[in-house]
Amino acid sequence: MSVWSLILVLAAWTNALRLGGAFLLKRATVPPTAEKVLNNITPAVLGALVVAGMFTSGRDLVLDERFFGFVAAGAALIGKVPPLAVIVVAAGATALARALT
């Protein structure tokens, strides 16, 4: 099973558990803090998987050209650039770093 297949299966399983819990516990109330955690856990886990895949190669920590693309994308997001432009900026920074090395 590939990594992306595993990610999709786990995301589907997580959402199925959340829906099942909602149907089974209609009368129970969830505290606001727990609701915030449940709403943000899936994107946090997916983000952690992407970052772990980006900065590792096997068991080694790798800081290569992808790092520059990641930093450029973060700077573009902070600057509130449209999503398509964020992708172009990240790809351009990665390509430039690869050309210079």
> Which range has the top average pLDDT, 13-22, 48-57, 71-80?
71-80
Which domain covers residue 68, as residue numbers?
A: 63-101
Strands (E), the chain: 56-57, 60-61
What pLDDT shows up at residue 50? 84
How many distinct structural domains can be found in the chain? 2
The secondary structure element, H or E, covering residue 56 is: strand 56-57
**48 and 73 part of one domain:** no
- C-alpha closest to that of 94 among 56, 59, 63, 53: 63
What pLDDT shows up at residue 51? 84
pLDDT tens figures, 38-63: 888 988 999 899 888 888 888 888 88
Average pLDDT of the chain?
Answer: 87
This model's pTM is above 0.75: no
**53 and 73 part of one domain:** no
Interaxial angle between packed helices 32-54 and 65-78, expressed in degrees from 0 to 180 and rounded to the nearest 10: 140
**70 and 45 part of one domain:** no
**45 and 4 part of one domain:** yes
